[in-house]
């Protein structure tokens, strides 16, 4: 009896240690996406505005890798008057994101896993924007980020 109990208890302890009980799915934020550096990467980012129309240089991505059952909401609030500068997205480049313009200067992007979400982003003029990133249905942002260009 003791011979059977010992291997069973080792397996049970190992299983309990490796379980992810109640943890939210982990979302990955690559440094770069299909169009350039990702604005939601965890590190700092130096933004250079586009100087050409249509933009072909100084383009950025907003890329995230969401596993099954993960959700992500990114609120971008441009705090600069629209005539001074702003942020644009290229709709035809949008993969995995839904976009909603909440009000002038406030755009909300949402994605649901499993998906690798990305969109082409451009900055123009001079400005500042606040990003609030909400993971897995959180009511408060998991992190915030300020972008200036």
Q: Please give the tally of structural domains in the chain.
A: 1
Per-residue pLDDT tens digits for 92-117: 999 999 999 988 899 999 999 999 99
CATH code assigned at 61: 2.60.40
Question: What is the value of pTM for the model shown?
Answer: 0.81
Q: What is the pLDDT of residue 22?
A: 58
Do residues 28 and 70 lie in contact, with contact meaning Cβ atoms separated by under 8 Å?
A: no
Convert the pLDDT of each residue in 15-49 to its tens digit: 444 444 557 889 999 999 999 999 999 988 999 99
Specify if 11 maps to a domain.
no
Tell me the average pLDDT across 129-135.
98
Q: Which regions of 55-148 does DSSP assign to beta strands (E)?
A: 59-61, 64-66, 71-78, 85-89, 98-103, 106-112, 115-117, 120-125, 128-135, 143-148
Domain that holds residue 83: 24-148
CB 102 within 8 A of CB 60: no
Nearest to 126 by CA among 80, 57, 94, 68: 80
pLDDT given for residue 2 in this prediction? 53
């Amino acid at each position: 009896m003791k011979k059977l109990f010992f291997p069973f208890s080792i397996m049970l302890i190992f299983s309990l240690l490796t379980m992810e009980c109640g943890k939210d799915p982990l979302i990955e934020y690559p440094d770069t996406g299909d169009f350039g550096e990702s604005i939601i990467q965890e590190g700092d980012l130096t933004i250079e505005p586009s100087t050409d129309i249509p933009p072909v240089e100084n383009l950025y991505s907003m890329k995230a890798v969401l596993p099954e059952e993960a959700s992500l909401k990114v609120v971008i609030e441009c705090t600069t008057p629209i005539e001074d500068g702003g942020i644009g997205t290229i709709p035809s480049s949008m993969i995995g994101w839904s976009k909603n313009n909440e009000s002038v200067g406030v755009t909300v992007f949402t994605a649901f896993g499993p998906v690798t979400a990305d969109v082409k982003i451009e900055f123009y003029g001079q400005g500042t924007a606040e990003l609030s990133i909400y993971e897995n249905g959180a009511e408060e942002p998991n992190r915030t980020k300020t972008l200036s260009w």
